[in-house]
């Protein structure tokens, strides 16, 4: 009961911190605004120029929160399903496949919405090809699925390298590399509305189905006595996590470290029970990515690719977590 009470307090505290970070992110930027101007925006009393700035920032902040929560919860799902603390949203090659889709669209000079659609479709296609390889290997082991993902990721990385090799270095190559490193700079209401439903539905599904991850951690005989088909449920959780990853990549490109590090942070706060760690992971992922994006658009004149920032934040955090858990199996 004491643990449950402690987790509730931690959850409320995380929500409060996220709200504070949203307000700060609205204030901070190349054009700094006061708290009063931010509050007046929500009360419909700001000037037209200030409204435009805050509208752009708020749209970007919403995208950051959804992507941060989605990637983090996808990471928790993969780590729980595969029982591997080093699993991440790219474990089935989805992020690399999405990059191939985006790079192909950029190579042929397609508009941004076609690029996003190509990234999403190619990410899902990569996941299905991974499952096909796993099926032909005739194994029920999660390790086999991980190996199939590594195979597909390697293939997609080779295709991506070929596209980069023939791309125009003055224009196309720069866009492809920038997409690989992730950025919310080009996110607008149109692109957000097209991807947000997938992110929201995926996040809500994982939230309400999080208890299934606890069940899937049991041995197969015990799972069947509960009345749950382990294969169907495992594949369903993988599919939803993959959709979240593909949707995130098609909106803002590839973002590293969030899906790997954040699940460990949340488990260190509320424990390994997915009923608590899943929502905490979503909140923590949103906070971490919001901090990273605020730094990315504020430190220099031009936006810094966000994977650079998440790398500088995520690496020391992950090292700290590993040092704390060096006597346990990750």
Asked whether residue 144 carries a pLDDT value surpassing 90, the answer given is no
d(CA 5, CA 276): 11
Asked whether residue 330 carries a pLDDT value surpassing 50, the answer given is no
| Three-state secondary structure readout of 268-321 | HHHCCCHHHHHHHHHHHHHHHHHHHHHHHHHCCCCCCCHHHHHHHHHHHHHHHH
Domain assignment present for 330: no
Domain assignment present for 236: yes
Domain assignment present for 155: yes
Altogether, the residues listed in the chain come to a count of 330
> How many degrees, rounded to 5, is the angle at CA 203 between CA 241 and CA 215?
65
Place of tokens 């931010």: 38
pLDDT, mean of residues 38-60: 79
Place of tokens 């409204």: 51
d(CA 289, CA 262): 10
pLDDT of residue 15: 97
Domain total of the chain: 1
d(CA 328, CA 301): 44
**Sign of torsion over alpha carbons 270, 273, 276, 277:** positive
Asked whether residue 45 carries a pLDDT value surpassing 80, the answer given is no
pLDDT of residue 325: 67
Domain assignment present for 299: yes
pLDDT, mean of residues 52-72: 92
36 CB-near residues (< 8 Å, 6+ apart): none
Domain assignment present for 14: yes
306, 309, 311, 315 alpha-carbon torsion, rounded to 10°: -150
281 CB-near residues (< 8 Å, 6+ apart): 72, 73, 75, 76, 262, 263, 265, 266
Domain assignment present for 25: yes
pLDDT of residue 323: 81
DSSP string, 39-100: HHHHTT-S-HHHHHHHHHHHHHHHHHHHHHHHHHHHHHHHHHHTT-TT--TTTTSHHHHHHH
Asked whether residue 241 carries a pLDDT value surpassing 60, the answer given is yes
d(CA 262, CA 277): 10
pLDDT, mean of residues 219-248: 85
Domain assignment present for 254: yes
d(CA 226, CA 267): 25
pLDDT of residue 320: 85
**Which residues constitute the domain of residue 47?**
2-324
Domain assignment present for 329: no
Summarised one tens digit per residue, pLDDT across range 193-230 is 989 999 999 999 999 999 889 888 777 777 777 778 88
More confident residue, 228 or 162: 162
| Highest averaged pLDDT of the listed ranges 18-22, 28-32, 50-54, 238-242 | 18-22
Share of the chain above pLDDT 90, in %: 47
Q: Which two tokens stand for residue 240?
A: 């939803």
Asked whether residue 46 carries a pLDDT value surpassing 50, the answer given is yes
The domain that holds 86 is classified in CATH as 1.10.3470.10
242 CB-near residues (< 8 Å, 6+ apart): 74, 92, 94, 123, 124, 127
């Amino acid at each position: 009961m004491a643990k449950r009470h402690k987790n509730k307090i931690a959850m409320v505290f995380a929500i409060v911190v996220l709200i504070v970070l949203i307000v700060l992110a609205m204030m901070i930027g190349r054009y700094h605004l006061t708290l009063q101007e931010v509050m007046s925006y929500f009360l419909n009393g700001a000037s037209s120029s200030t409204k435009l700035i805050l509208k752009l920032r708020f749209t970007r902040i919403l995208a950051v929160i959804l992507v941060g929560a989605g990637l983090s919860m996808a990471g928790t799902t993969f780590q729980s399903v595969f029982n591997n603390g080093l699993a991440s949203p790219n474990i089935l090659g989805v992020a690399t496949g999405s990059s191939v889709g985006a790079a192909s669209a950029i190579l042929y000079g397609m508009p941004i919405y076609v690029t996003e659609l190509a990234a999403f479709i190619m990410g899902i296609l990569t996941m299905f090809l991974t499952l096909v390889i796993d099926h032909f290997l005739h194994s029920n082991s999660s390790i086999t699925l991980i190996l199939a993902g590594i195979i597909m990721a390697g293939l997609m990385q080779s295709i991506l390298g070929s596209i980069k090799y023939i791309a125009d270095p003055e224009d196309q190559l720069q866009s492809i590399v920038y997409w690989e490193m992730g950025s919310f700079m080009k996110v607008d209401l149109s692109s957000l509305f097209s991807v947000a439903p997938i992110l929201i539905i995926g996040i809500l599904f994982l939230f309400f189905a999080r208890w299934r991850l606890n069940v899937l951690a049991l041995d197969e005989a015990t799972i069947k006595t509960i009345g749950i088909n382990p294969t169907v449920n495992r594949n369903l959780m993988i599919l939803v996590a993959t959709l979240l990853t593909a949707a995130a990549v098609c909106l803002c490109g590839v973002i590293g470290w969030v899906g790997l590090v954040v699940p460990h942070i949340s488990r260190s706060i509320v424990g390994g029970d997915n009923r608590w760690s899943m929502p905490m992971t979503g909140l923590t992922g949103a906070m971490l990515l919001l901090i990273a994006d605020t730094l990315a658009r504020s430190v220099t004149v031009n936006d810094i690719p966000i994977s650079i920032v998440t790398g500088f934040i995520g690496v020391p955090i992950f090292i700290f977590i590993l040092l704390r858990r060096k006597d346990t199996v990750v």
